[in-house]
Amino acid sequence: MPAEIYLNVAVSGLLTGLVYGLMALGLSVIFGVVRVVNFAHGEMMTIAMYLAVVLFSHYRLDPLVMMVPIAGVLFALGYVMQRGLINPFINRPEHSQFMLLVALALILVNGLLIVFGPDAQGVQTSYSFASFAVGRLIVDANKIYAALAALAVAAALFAFFRYTLAGKAIRACADNYAGALVVGLDVKRLYALTFGIGAACVGAAGCMMVLLVDVTPPLGPAYTLLAFVIVIVGGLGSMGGALLGGVLIGVSEALAGLFIAPSAKSMFSFGLLILILLLRPQGLLGRRT
């Protein structure tokens, strides 16, 4: 097999992994602050993907251009979900939260099936079939754009949590819930804000993902599972871990497909998950509790 194929495949995996990472980042942010595991995470991403498809098919609006408005819509959805639906469950047992979000995920999948049907839908932009050639390395243009956008969104998110008052307040809530209450922070509003930010992340990731894959309603549960694998590998609650996990899963799946068998890709990522759980249960960048 020619040597450049390994480089081609590794670069492709790295770029896809960055988009995976952004998707998982939303899940990690929500869990890290609100301590609720969003089992409807992938389904929320498919909503963003369908929004991108509808806007493209009706108005020819590029998903990358629509990334900010769609992330805004998802932010609003996440905010309202947290305030109206999830907040009453914050202090209930974990199995109640689990059932709530699984039920929500099922409703979303079936709702999308009713509205959009079972057929795959996608966007075909002017650069859908474009690729860049650097010597013998051929890189998919869509993956480059999507990965760059993912990096930009992730950087903006890191900056928000580090430099803004709201970001610092959210981090305070995550670090010390009682302390945040004592100093007068509106924790419920901050939780809703956090859930909205997590949802916005996954909304932005959906806009990038729709450049790479066609969307069907059953894609939601598949991406929820993938996001879980990534955050567990990277460390649940760790933002850097989510990005690292995404890249690791992206690259390892791609190389496993090349070295072992393409149909063994998923098997390999779950194998990696088990290995991490055995050797470093808190994940690569997670903190031991």
Nearer to other proteins, 216 or 238 (CB): 216
Geometric angle at alpha carbon 220, from 216 and 223, rounded to 5°: 115
Shortest distance, position 134 Cβ to other proteins, whole Å: 13
Binding site for other proteins (CB under 8 A): 1-2, 5, 8-9, 12-13, 16, 110, 113-114, 117-120, 122, 124, 128-131, 133, 138, 140-141, 212-214, 216, 219, 222, 254, 257-258, 261-263, 265-266
Shortest distance, position 24 Cβ to other proteins, whole Å: 15
Nearer to other proteins, 119 or 178 (CB): 119
Shortest distance, position 7 Cβ to other proteins, whole Å: 10
Q: Which of 19, 15, 38, 31 has the alpha carbon at shortest distance from 220?
A: 38
Shortest distance, position 4 Cβ to other proteins, whole Å: 9
Shortest distance, position 209 Cβ to other proteins, whole Å: 9
Residues 244 and 248: their CA atoms lie apart, in Å, by: 6
Nearer to other proteins, 1 or 178 (CB): 1
In the chain, DSSP assigns E strands to: 131-134, 137-140
First to last CA, the chain: 46
What is the b/e burial string over 13-35, where b = at least 16 CB atoms within 10 angstroms of the residue's CB? bbbbbbbbbbbbbbbbbbbbbbe
Residue positions counted in the chain = 289
Shortest distance, position 246 Cβ to other proteins, whole Å: 14
Nearer to other proteins, 218 or 240 (CB): 218
In 114-201, DSSP assigns E strands to: 131-134, 137-140
Nearer to other proteins, 97 or 142 (CB): 142
Nearer to other proteins, 263 or 289 (CB): 263
Residues 134 and 152: their CA atoms lie apart, in Å, by: 23
CB neighbours (10 Å) of residue 99?
14
